[in-house]
Structure 1
C-alpha cells in the first residue's frame, strides 16, 4: 500500500486532483458570496458539456485544439524551452492547410492528409525560426516566439486579404470538401455537433509525443539538453541541433492544431482582429497536465469542459462569465501551486514516520 501511495505521489496523480478540487471549492465560495448557487452552477456546467449527445460532441470539439497547443508547449518545456509562440504556429498551420484546401483539386484520400501534413510542417518551420535564433545567436525563445505570434497574425491577415479572400467578405473562400476532416455521418451521430476526426489525430500526437521523449534515442538527447545543456554537450550531444529539433517538433504540434481546426470546424480562414487564444490556452493545458503527453490530454479535457460548459453556467444558473473565468483561473492557479501540496504531503509523511 505504501509503495502504491509513493507511486501515485511520484506520478502526480493525487496532487493535481487535490489542486483541481481546491480550485472548484474556492470558486464555489466566491459564487456563494456573489449570491449564486454553486451546486446549480456546476450541475449546469456538467449538463451543458455532457447532458446530451450534442453537448458531448461540442465538448470534444472544444477540447481538440487545446490538446495540440498543450502538447506543443509541454514538449518544448520538457526539452528545456519555453514555447510561448504556439498561437503563431497555430495560425500559420491553419493558413497553410487552408491554402492547400482552396488551391488544390485532389481526391479526398490525398487532399485531406496533404492539407494536414502541410499545416504541421509550416507550424514546425515557424517554431524552428525561434529554435534557430536561440541555437545560432543565443536569442531567448520567449522573446522570439512572442514576436513571431504578432508576425504570424499580420502575415496571415495579409495573405488572406491578397490571395484567399472571398469577394465582399472578411474570410477566405470555403475549402474544397475533399480536404474536410468533418463527415456528415459523424455530425449526424452527434446531433449536428461540430465534432471531427481531428480528435483522433490529437490523441495520436500525444502517443507520438510520449514515444519520442520516452522510447527513442532522439528523445533522450532532447531531454538531456533540456536538463543540462553543458553536460549534454560534454557527452557528445549536439546541443544546437537538438534545440532546433525541439522547437520544430513543438511547432508541428501547434501547426497541426491549426490545420485540424480549419479542416474540421471552420472550413475557411478569417481576417483576425486579435488572437483567438488557442496557443495561450495551451500554456494552461500544459501546466494542468504537468507537461506530460497524456497529462496534456487530461488538462485539455478539463479546460475544454470548463470553457464549453461555462455557457451552461451562465444560462442555467445565471453566473456571469467574469465569475466563471475566475473559477477557471483558480483551478489553473491551484494546479500551478501543486508544489505546495506536494511539500505538505511530504511533511505529513515525515511526521508519520517520526511518530512510528
Structure 2
C-alpha cells in the first residue's frame, strides 16, 4: 500500500526577524514618563547653566578677548557654572564647608522642611487633578484653614498631647470647609471650579486680612499690626532631635499624608471611582457612580491637604503669629509640584523635595553672586520641559510615544484628505 505524500506547502512570505525582547523592554523604558521627567530636569539644569554663564561678569570680561585666549573664557564658564551648582548643592543637600556632620546635614533638613508644605499642598492639587478638577484655590484653603484653627483652638490652652492634634485637625477641617464650598457649587450648579477656586482665594485672603486686623477676632492684643497671636506652645511641632536640625514632626505628618493619598487613589474603592470620574465622567455616570458626590469628596480631600500645608507653617517654623500671607506662595507652587509629579502621590512627593531643595539652595547661590531669582527660572524650565515630552524626546533622541505617532499619522491623513 503506497503512502500518501503530503501536499506541497505554499512558500511563506519572508518576515523580518522579531526584535529581541530586551530591545523592546529598553524601548518601553526610554518612552516611559520617569525617563522623560529625569531628562527634563537635566535639560532644565543645562539651560540654567547656560544662563549662569551668560550673566556672569568674569565670563563676559574674558569673552572680550576670546580669540586671543579662548582657554580663559572656557575656564570662566566652568568656574561660574560649577560654582553656582556647587553652592546649590551646599545649600540644599550637604554643606561641605561645615565644621561637623550635623552642621553639614542641616542643608538637607532645611530642604525637607521647605518641602513639607509644598508636598502637602501639592497632594491636594493632585487629588483634584485625578478627578478632572483644576483646584487653583490652595492659597485660600491654606489661609482659611490657618485662621479657622486659630479661632477654634488657640485659646484652649490644653496640654501638648491634646493641643497639638486638635490644632492640626482644626487646620485640616478649615481647609476642607473652604475647598468644600467650591466642590458643592461645582456639583450642584455646574459652575467651573477654576473660577470658583480663584475667586475663593481672593475672598479667603481678604477675609483673613480683616480677621488679623480686627481686635477681638484674631489680631494680637496690644498691637495695631495685622498679625495674630503666636501659636500656643502646646501646638508647636516638636523637633525630631539633634540629628535632624531644623526638622520637626510636621514632616512625618506629610509622609503619612503621602501614604494615605497613595492608598486612597490606587488601592481603595473610592479611589477607583475617583479615577473613573477623572478619566470619563459620562462613562462613570453611566456605570452608576455619583459624579457630583465624587467632586465634593475630591475637593474636601484637597482642602484638607492644603490645610495640612498651612499647619506646617503655623505649627512649625512660624510661631510668632501669622497674617494673610502665611501661605508664602506655596498655594500656587503646589500646582507646579502636582504637575511635575504627574498627579501621583509619590511623584508629587519627589517633586516637592526637588522644589524644597531649590528653595533652600537659593540662599547659598545668592551668597555666591547668583541672583536668587535664578531658582525661579530653573523651576519654570523644569515645568516647561516636563509639560513638553515630545520636545524632550527630540532633544535626547528618544523613541517616540505611540500616542504621539498616532496623532502625527492622523494629522498627515487629514492633510492628505484636505489636499484631495
- TM-score, with length taken from structure 2: 0.77
**Does residue 20 of the first structure (1) align with residue 71 of the second (2)?**
no
Q: Which residue of 2 aligns with 1:160?
A: 212
Structure 1 segment 303-318 matched on structure 2, within 5 A: 303-316=355-368, 318=369
Range with greater deviation from structure 2 (126-135 or 99-108)? 99-108
Q: 1:47 aligns with which of 90, 93, 104?
A: 90
1:219-262 per-position Cα deviation (integer Å, ceiling 9, x unaligned): 11111111111111111111111111111111111111112210
Range with greater deviation from structure 2 (93-102 or 205-214)? 93-102
**Does residue 253 of the first structure (1) align with residue 305 of the second (2)?**
yes
Please identify which structure carries the higher helix content: 1
Q: Which residue of 1 aligns with 2:398?
A: 345
State the alpha-carbon separation in 1 of the partners of residues 308 and 28 from structure 2. Answer: 34
**Does residue 327 of the first structure (1) align with residue 378 of the second (2)?**
yes
State the alpha-carbon separation in 1 of the partners of residues 402 and 299 from structure 2. Answer: 40
Structure 1 segment 87-126 matched on structure 2, within 5 A: 87-126=139-178
Contiguous gaps of at least 5 residues in structure 2: 1-21, 58-79, 96-103, 404-420
Rg larger for: 2
1:117-172 per-position Cα deviation (integer Å, ceiling 9, x unaligned): 11111111111111111111111000000000111101112222231222214321
The Cα shift of 1:198 comes to 0.8
Q: Which residue of 1 aligns with 2:194?
A: 142
* 1:13 match: secondary structure: helix
State the alpha-carbon separation in 2 of the partners of residues 29 and 38 from structure 1. Answer: 8
Q: Could you say if the C-alpha distance between residues 165 and 349 of structure 1 is closer, same or farther in structure 2, counting changes exceeding 3 Å?
A: closer
The Cα shift of 1:276 comes to 2.3
Q: Could you say if the C-alpha distance between residues 11 and 261 of structure 1 is closer, same or farther in structure 2, counting changes exceeding 3 Å?
A: farther
The Cα shift of 1:308 comes to 1.4
Q: Could you say if the C-alpha distance between residues 243 and 176 of structure 1 is closer, same or farther in structure 2, counting changes exceeding 3 Å?
A: same
State the alpha-carbon separation in 2 of the partners of residues 140 and 294 from structure 1. Answer: 28
Query: Contact (CA 8 Å) 1:82, 1:141: kept in 2 or not?
Result: yes
The Cα shift of 1:9 comes to 4.9
The Cα shift of 1:311 comes to 1.0
The Cα shift of 1:28 comes to 0.5
The Cα shift of 1:3 comes to 6.1
Q: Could you say if the C-alpha distance between residues 54 and 274 of structure 1 is closer, same or farther in structure 2, counting changes exceeding 3 Å?
A: closer
State the alpha-carbon separation in 2 of the partners of residues 228 and 198 from structure 1. Answer: 36
The Cα shift of 1:103 comes to 1.1
Q: Could you say if the C-alpha distance between residues 6 and 199 of structure 1 is closer, same or farther in structure 2, counting changes exceeding 3 Å?
A: farther
Aligned residues: 345
State the alpha-carbon separation in 1 of the partners of residues 283 and 326 from structure 2. Answer: 42
The Cα shift of 1:101 comes to 4.5
Query: Contact (CA 8 Å) 1:98, 1:268: kept in 2 or not?
Result: no
**Does residue 201 of the first structure (1) align with residue 253 of the second (2)?**
yes
Structure with larger RCO (C-alpha < 8 A, sep 6+): 1
The Cα shift of 1:57 comes to 2.1
Q: Could you say if the C-alpha distance between residues 230 and 288 of structure 1 is closer, same or farther in structure 2, counting changes exceeding 3 Å?
A: same
Q: Which residue of 1 aligns with 2:19?
A: none
The Cα shift of 1:275 comes to 6.2
The Cα shift of 1:11 comes to 5.3
Q: Could you say if the C-alpha distance between residues 6 and 75 of structure 1 is closer, same or farther in structure 2, counting changes exceeding 3 Å?
A: farther
Q: Which residue of 1 aligns with 2:77?
A: none
State the alpha-carbon separation in 1 of the partners of residues 317 and 149 from structure 2. Answer: 13
- TM-score, with length taken from structure 1: 0.91
